[in-house]
Structure 1
Amino acid sequence: MKQLKALSLLVLLTVQFGNIISLHAQTNMKADHPLNSKELSLVPIAGFTAKGDMPQLRTSLNSGLDAGLSINEIKEVLIQLYAYAGFPRALNALGTFRTVLEERKKNGRNDLAGKPSATFITNENRLKKGTAIQAKLLGSDMKTSTADFVPIIDVFLKEHLFADIFGRDLLDFKTREIVTIAALASLGNADPQLRSHINVGIYNGLTKNQLYSISELLKDKIGPAESSLMKEILKNIYMKENENTKSQNNPFTLVYDGAITENIKGRVNIHPVSYKIKDITIAANVYTPSNYNSTAKYPAIVIAHPNGGVKEQVAGLYAQYLAEQGYITIAADAAYQGASSGFPRNVDKPANRIEDIYAMADYISGYAGVDSKRLGLLGICGGGGYSLKAAQSDKRFKSVATLSMFNSGLVRRNGYMNSQLSTIQDRLKQASDARAQEAAGGEILYSNSNAKPFTDEQIAKMPDLYRQGMEYYGKTYAHPNSTGNYTLSSLLDLMTWDASTNMDLIEQPLLMIAGSKADSYYMTEDAFGKAVNAKNKELFLIEGATHIETYWKLQYVRQAVDKLTEFYTKFLQTN
């Protein structure tokens, strides 16, 4: 009976999360689902309206309609924006929207009008109504900081802004705050109003990840300065929370501006860089030794992060330790994930992740001081599986290593520890339906859409990978750009993919590292056994370590780094 209960919980875990990183969302009181395509499309509409950029607004309005926004919803957004961007720009935006609709109609596009806003009753006590709406929106009745200085402003705000605009029923408070935050950030000089509305947005359900996704979309669509303004405010808002969630005995204490660690700080250099994969901008860090000389020649190592992870977590940690050993290393956020661009957000397809690895190799091979003939590869967790695939074809990698390898395709198909074999066809049908809905312009569905928080009893019964993943990704190393949530349609690619096929194509030296107590070890063992042509292959077990403990626990990280240094030193010699 105990085994049956454990298996049932394992099925639940795999269904809800797909992988452990989405446990980050479960640690919050409110559901931390990604913003959907309609919500994301509001950001550039608000931003370009505020900036008065009508050509770009035209494109964004078309995208919003294609994402499923109704005509009346967009009208309501532009009505709201006059309060923050001014009548001239709101009226210009409405005129542009009218032109867009006329053009679409001529082209045979019959857009959904949608529900109209309820008629506002003009003869009621608007001050009383506005005061009540303000209290609901903000959590209490309050006056602005200028109310005593210019009392009529407080009346205007309550009677007009809150009663006349926020009192309209077509858009909820959360949606209105997305619009307002994007507009104020795009204006570039709206603090403290921007800071205030970010806090109002948090009160009305916007989560940290959702707010950071708005800032990333601002960077991608509007500009880096507008995004930086918002990110600086978010950093200050969440600074106290970040300090409180760090483990008391955490030896590394990661911070977000380059994954600097306390015990490595000053011993490596971190260079934020960006480059393109077609039209996707990739955010990466290059790590160089403290005595880095651009005229010298160094071996280099490409490092691929876990599923849903970011460069500021375990990938950045190992990148720094290896840079300290004399290598130039690179860690990048995957396309559609983290700080890299790409829409929809959190697409998780093997072909993309493998291309990410190729592109890191492209970039670092041309970096000053890199000897492109001495290029190594390290993949961690899901990045380990993708690294095995990349190394099968890309012979620029002279040696290949994995740490706690996770075969994403195998788990998405069969479930963790083969716990979902009976539901494979059902899940493929769900992924197919999600793809069809996306193609029809409907809402983008995510793997974690209907997840519910786990009870303490359920958490206690989880495998180590899941239970300890909650701590790592949700508390001690939580990062606003990190999420294990992925588009449900990604399963069409994931469930037909397997990291361990064609392992005979790997002829390079191969090192696979895993914890001796890792419940994910079966994936490393399987892939290692199939690498029949790998030269000098070695399976190295870190005694006593679990999967997640190899990410951060000092004694285990040191063992892994020592073994990796020995491996790369031996097999990245000058040709």
Structure 2
Amino acid sequence: MIIFKNNSVMALSIVFSGMCGSVNAQQREQVLSDKQESIIPIAAYAATGNQTNLNQALNKGLDAGLSINEVKEILVQLYAYAGFPRSLNAIGTLENVVSDRKQSGINDAVGKSPAAVTFKPSKFEYGKAVQTELTGTTNIGAPQKYVPVIDTFLKEHLFADIFSRDNMDYQSREIATISALASMDGTEAQLRAHLNVGRNVGFTEQQLRRMAFLISTKVGWQEGSTATKMLNELFNTASADLVKTGNDVIVEKVTFPNHNITVVGNLFLPKNFDQHKRYPAILVGHPAGGVKEQTAGLYAQKLAEQGYITLAFDASYQGESGGEPRFLEDPAVRVEDFRAATDYLSNHPSIDPNRIGVLGICAGGGFAIKAAQTEHRLKAVATVSMVDLGQLRREGLNGVLKPQMQQRLDEVGKQRTREAHGEPVKYVNYVFSTREEIPAGATGMYKEGYEYYRTPRGQHPNSQNKYVFTSLDKLMAFTALDQVEMISPRPLLLIIGKNADSRYFSDDAFARASAPKELFEVPGASHIDMYDKPEYVPQAVKKLSDFFGQYLK
């Protein structure tokens, strides 16, 4: 596990329909540069032959400042670890990416070419010296002893011919090598060796753990977990340091799998946490367009202060969690995120698996309700400013988009055809990006969405105000509230600002639900006021604490 550091009405409805959350909470201290981090998915996707994801990773790497020659060097080096076919295919993808970017007016830096090298006293001895510097030993492995010629090839070609090329430093080469080895099957021994090389070339434990975390989210949870376990052995420690908030709540970054996607969460442990005790737990789902560091993190921290273990997590494809394409809104996967989070909490040694509750905010509330209908491990269900994102996408707020439903689905179909033909993924915004875009007279969630997500009040770099346009076909087929009564006899609490223009979703859920159920109004509050306003959030937190205290005994 990696620990992070503190420190017109119709037009309006199109923009807002489905948006919903910030604590300007603790943020990761950057331990690798953007360029270094961008090498990880490039190497991983090249090594596994995933050309679609490699295309995206190459674009991001060039955007992060990698030169064309640096990327070429990564792909050249990888042939020694992943083979000529994967390397050649990746080089072909790079050529297409550079060409496409040039046609779009992007002229990427070519970068330095490697200088000629004179191998003294011989290529073998030169390579041996490089190998010794990297590994810290002159010992050779059993395969090299059994077939000595392979040792010659390793020293003369890999460590002399390749590692002598001076347009990429040893650290960058090791990032590429570690990422490639972690991504492939059957290379555990080599991965362990190169994690040790990473330490020898100057990477700190924190930097190596950051690599493992990014491998987890970019490649797969199991691959990242394997690398993390090796680092635990290498450094004889289970994790990096934990972080305490101002109220002595401990925060730990954790990961868990949703099938082949790695979900990333912040686990909040209460004051005076005792690892020998078993605590009740609450998982917290964020709004559409939000991330765990915003309103979900605020509620998670406040409830941890009341004695609960809480987990605020980024939905798949969002924030720090894995999944491609980025910013996809897939309701089936979103619901499964809640089940995967329940899996994680149910197996945590400090959590009583019979005392797990769920809180969903805005669209996260609709997904929480949908999951809880059949997820009986969730013993108590609560929402704040809940919306059914499927209905909101179909109809818009208060039904204003309903007449355009078929037209919008036609547009989705056309866009899917374009993307299948190779055109880039189309993204659209959740909220207005600038104050100037807001039409005169805009009120309610439309105006408040900008004020929360796009200003210092709630803005977070991982909440990028965009989602994949073709998500609409999946969202429009989704309904959160069709079987709300199945939650009973487990309790349901719906919290809503009395002035919220979205309150009809909670009213509908309450009418459909069976007892025990409760609708709790916060006077004077709007939908987004409930995300972070100090005059309203404490009222919701007290109600939530009492509710979970009653039903998670």
TM-score scaled by length of structure 2: 0.65
Q: Could you tell me whether the CA contact under 8 Å between 1:382 and 1:407 is conserved in 2?
A: yes
Per the alignment, residue 513 of structure 1 pairs with 495
Equivalences for residues 59-70 of structure 1 within 5 A: 59=48, 62-63=51-52
| Distance in 2 of aligned mates of 1:285 and 1:335 | 14
Aligned-residue offset at 1:416: 1.3
1:339 is aligned to 320
In 2, the alpha carbon distance for the partners of 1:513 and 1:452 equals: 28
| Whole-Å separation in 2 of the counterparts to 1:400 and 1:386 | 11
| Paired residue secondary structure (1:347) | coil
- Counterpart of 1:471 (choices 420, 428, 451) is 451
- Residue 397 of structure 1 aligns to a residue in which SS? coil
For residue 334 of structure 1, report the CA deviation from its aligned partner.
0.5
Change (3 A) 1:383 1:177: farther
2:520 aligned to which of 526, 540, 552:
540
Residue 172 of structure 2 is aligned to residue 187 of structure 1: yes
Residue in 2 that maps onto 1:206: none
Q: 1:326 to 1:462 in 2, by over 3 A?
A: same
List aligned pairs for 1:330-409, cutoff 5 A.
330-409=311-390
Mapped to 1, the partners of 2:552 and 2:510 lie a distance apart of 21
Q: 1:374 to 1:492 in 2, by over 3 A?
A: same
> Structure 2: how far apart are the matches of 1:501 and 1:171?
46
- Quick check: 1:435 aligned with 2:434? no
In 1, distance between residues paired with 2:266 and 2:99? 47
Q: Which residue of 1 aligns with 2:512?
A: 530
CA distance in 2, matches of 1:345, 1:185: 30
1:419 is matched with 400
Partner of 1:210: none
Q: 1:69 to 1:363 in 2, by over 3 A?
A: closer
- Superposed CA deviations along residues 471-512 of structure 1, whole A, max 9, x for unmatched, are 111111100001342111211111111212112212011110
CA contact (8 A) 1:78 1:90 kept: no
Partner Cα distance (1:389, 1:97) in 2: 46
Amino acid at match of 1:47: I
Instruction: Give 3-state SS (helix, strand or coil) of 1:273's partner.
Output: strand
**Change in 2 beyond 3 A, CA 1:571/1:184:** farther
Classify 1:177/1:333 alpha carbon distance in 2 versus 1 (closer, same or farther; 3 Å).
farther
- 1:299 is matched by which residue type in structure 2? P
- Give secondary structure in 1 for the equivalent of 2:467: coil
Name the CA shift for 1:558/1:65 in 2 (closer, same or farther; >3 Å): closer
Displacement of 1:320 in angstroms is 0.9
Residue identity matched to 1:16: V
CA distance in 2, matches of 1:560, 1:376: 16
Structure 2 CA distance for aligned equivalents of residues 380 and 259 of structure 1: 25
Matching residue's letter, 2:413: S
2:68 is the counterpart of 1:81: yes
Give 1:435 deviation, angstroms.
Answer: 3.0
CA distance in 1, matches of 2:110, 2:216: 18
Residue identity in the other structure for 1:445: K
Residue pair 1:81, 1:90 contacting (<8 A) in 2 also: no
Structure 1 residues not aligned, in runs of 5+: 1-8, 23-41, 105-109, 119-167, 191-214, 225-256
1:435-469 deviation per Cα after TM superposition (whole angstroms, max 9, x unaligned): 333444432112339988563761x5223112112
Give per-residue Cα distances to partners, 1:200-227, cap 9 Å, x unaligned. Answer: xxxxxxxxxxxxxxx9978845999xxx
Mapped partners of 2:58, 2:255: distance in 1: 32
1:318 equivalent to 2:299? Answer yes
Whether the 8 Å contact between 1:45 and 1:57 is mirrored in structure 2 is no
Correspondence list, 1:134-145, <5 A: none
Query: 8 Å contact 1:303–1:329 — kept in the other structure?
Result: yes
Matches of 2:499 and 2:9, distance apart in 1: 18
User: 2:485 — aligned with what?
Assistant: 504
The alignment's C-alpha RMSD in Å is 4.6
TM superposition shift of 1:14: 2.6
Query: Partners in 1 of 2:540 and 2:500 — Cα distance?
Result: 14
More moved, 56-65 vs 10-19: 56-65
Output the CA distance in 2 between the equivalents of 1:309 and 1:382. Answer: 10
Find the aligned partners of 1:370 and 1:434 in 2 and give their Cα distance: 45
Q: Secondary structure at the match of 2:373?
A: helix
Corresponding residue number in structure 1 for 2:474: 493
CA contact (8 A) 1:274 1:282 kept: yes
SS of residue matched to 2:391: helix
CA deviations on 1:208-263 (whole Å, 9 max, x unpaired) are xxxxxxx9978845999xxxxxxxxxxxxxxxxxxxxxxxxxxxxxxxx9998xxx
Distance 1:111 1:386, change over 3 A: closer
1:216-227 alignment runs, 5 A limit: 220-221=217-218
- What is the aligned partner in structure 2 of residue 14 from structure 1? 13
